[in-house]
Amino acid sequence: MTDPKNKSFEDQVKGMKEIASKVAGEVMDKATPDGITALLKKAAAGGIDTVMLADLERLASDPGELKEIIEKLKAFGVKVVEAAKSATYTRK
């Protein structure tokens, strides 16, 4: 897989849609300028079951912040998938 850091946002969304279609999933929404706050609110309300990213650094570049966000998502029962490594990080 090409390094996601060198792809445009639109290319990353296209790639996520391709991967989701292969695992019988669907991209329902994509990142917005209010980013993490909106993601966590939607997850807390039960509106998300999986977050798929081209690279975890798209969620947070600071390791401590990344761990905190993943733990919050895990508490809401949300699975985090890093497509670049085909790895799943959380599952309740």
CATH number at residue 32: 3.40.50.1390
Domain extent at residue 46: 4-88
Per-residue pLDDT of the chain (92 residues; tens, 9 = 90+): 445 455 677 777 777 677 666 664 556 566 665 688 888 998 999 988 888 877 788 788 889 999 999 999 999 999 888 876 655 555 44
Burial class (CB in 10 A: 0-12, 13-18, 19+), 46: exposed
pLDDT at residue 90 in the model: 54
| Count of domains observed in the chain | 1
Answer whether 89's CB lies under 8 Å from 81's CB. yes
The pTM assigned to this predicted structure is 0.64
Reading the block at residue 13, the tokens are 């969304």
